[in-house]
Amino acid sequence: MRHEKQYQSLNIDTSSGNLLIEGPVSSDKLAKLCMNEQLTAFRQPDQQLAALQEIADLEEGRIIIATNQDEIIGYVTFLHPDPIEHWSKYPKDNMLELGAIEVAPAYRGNKLGSRLIATSMKDENMENYIIISTEYYWHWDLNYSKLSVWDYRKIMEKMMRAGSLYPAATNEPEIMAHPANCLMVRIGKNVSKADEALFDKLRFM
């Protein structure tokens, strides 16, 4: 399939100033920006910026960013599941994984996570995909938030609902490793019943 992308943007006024949510953005666009120094959930900010540029260069890769002027303060990524993951066994190319979402602590409380996801789904081309997000409690920022795993899980579910991703049952071992883990799924309206059946088979191998 052709991985077509339609640019979307949203301006929001906050106590931190006027923020812009936009994407999918190109690697050239990302190269002109800097990362907020608090975006360290996955790697150091400069290394994460380089990783975002690599994803943006993938045919299917999508990066949606939140910026304050020329500084990236949040982002969400979409790409095919990693080849080492169980979900990469899906035999078609119409699956995207919400691979990472991060918002700088100083900007939390502005619903940026939900707005990043909601903006990404405004592109009508997303209706061509099965979109998944694998939620593992060991990836959650429990120390900063001071929340229990269950309260954090509720926040993650609410955030994912902004993009119409909902919990889906599975017996995949990593998801089953802890009761707070979950698989979140969005089936685009253009996905065929046959492809949906292939995905259902993968959920219960």
Return the CATH number at 18. 3.40.630.30
Q: How many structural domains does the chain have?
A: 1
Quick one: which H or E segment has residue 132?
strand 130-135
Q: What is the pLDDT of residues 96-129, one digit of tens each?
A: 999 999 999 999 888 999 999 999 999 999 999 9
41-45, 48-52, 146-150, 194-198 — which is least confidently predicted?
146-150
Phi/psi of residue 103, nearest 5 degrees: -130, 135
Helices (runs of H) and strands (runs of E) counted in the chain: 7, 9
**158 occurs within a structural domain:** yes
146 pLDDT higher than 80 = no
**3 occurs within a structural domain:** no
pLDDT of residue 102: 93
Quick one: which H or E segment has residue 84?
none
**1 occurs within a structural domain:** no
Q: Give the residue numbers spanning the domain of 97.
A: 8-203
Average pLDDT (126-153) is 84
**2 occurs within a structural domain:** no
Distance CA 62, CA 5 (A): 8
3-state secondary structure at position 162: coil
| Percentage of the chain exceeding pLDDT 70 | 98
Question: What pTM was estimated for this model as a whole?
Answer: 0.93
141 pLDDT higher than 80 = no
